[in-house]
Amino acid sequence: MQSLTRIKELLEMAGHGPKKALGQNFLIDQNLIHKLLDASGVKEGDLVLEIGPGTGALTVGLLERGCRVVVCELDMDLVRVLRETLGEEYPDRLVIVEGDCLAGKKALNLELVEALGDDGFCMVANLPYHAATPVMMTLMTRHAECSGMFVTIQKEVVERFSAGSGSKAYGGISVVAQCLGEVKMITKLKPGCFWPSPGVESAMMGWRRDVDLVGGGDPEWWVSMSEISQLLFQSRRKKLGGVVKKIVGGEIEWPEGTGPDDRIDGLSVELVHGVCRAVEDANGGRG
């Protein structure tokens, strides 16, 4: 694992300090790094995606456990450092992709997709906070080969993924995440666990895909369902009858347990899923 002294040495190799614009707050509590690795359950031979490796503090832990690791780093100076250090030490098990992890808001970087190939993988990462939600939603809905995610992100985002009906945090990402898998808060982190300390609260979250939950595993449906649920929650306090009519231009066949007088944020994950299906059907399967 990397000490704070080692992280500073590697940043000196890169020729710069932490870049605030890239959200570079380095997790320096090694016990918490181990906690995230343990929660992920990764083992020798597993394929792991890490986004935003920075100096490689978490990457070292993954490689020491025998994982095959694909990392994606936007900072070209840190990419050079990673190649000169871990890349030379683990040439057969570490692939380094330079650039933005996303191609737009809803697709992974093509080079990253090619590096991952067709094998199943999980993501273990201290995610750049500005990229966390779009990356995680993309992996959930468009990459069924992603079996799980174990990440350090903003605590507020963890609360949104894990929220239940009736809460202010409940929304489209809550529904999609809980339809497709199990969300778990691993632990909360104090700002002092990072260098430099971030201005927001952080937490570690685990999500493990479960294809036997609501709705099955059709990737095309989950992309559509994500879009429909986001539309519905944009009018979270309005009666669903009027909201749905604006989306489909008419009526839908209301699923059992729902009706036009309901509000979307009062429905369970399963019922929201049913309403989204009905909207999809009313739109002729076009979402």
- The Cβ of residue 15 has, within 10 Å, a number of other Cβ atoms equal to 10
Do 186 and 250 share a domain, yes or no? no
CATH of the domain at 49: 3.40.50.150
Pairing of strands 121-126, 146-154: parallel
With a cut of 50, list the residues of the chain below it in pLDDT. 286-287
Predicted structure pTM score: 0.94
214 occurs within a structural domain: no
The CATH number of the domain holding residue 256 is 1.10.8
Among residues 209, 239, 264, which one ends one of the domains?
209
One-letter identity of residue 212: D
Write down the pLDDT at residue 287: 41
Chain center to CA of 22: 17
Contact 124, 40 (CB under 8 A): yes
Nearest-angstrom CA–CA distance, 246 and 33: 47
In this predicted structure, what is the pLDDT of residue 215?
63
Question: What pLDDT score was predicted for residue 150?
Answer: 98
For 7, left (φ over 0), alpha (ψ -120 to 50), or beta?
alpha
The span from the CA of 256 to the CA of 251, in Å, is 15
Range of the domain at 137: 4-209
Q: Look at residue 217 in the predicted model and tell me its pLDDT.
A: 61
Same-domain pairing of 156 and 96: yes
Inside any domain, residue 29: yes
For residue 213, what pLDDT is reported?
81
Do 229 and 193 sit in the same domain of this protein?
Answer: no
Confirm if 191 and 198 have CB atoms less than 8 A apart: yes
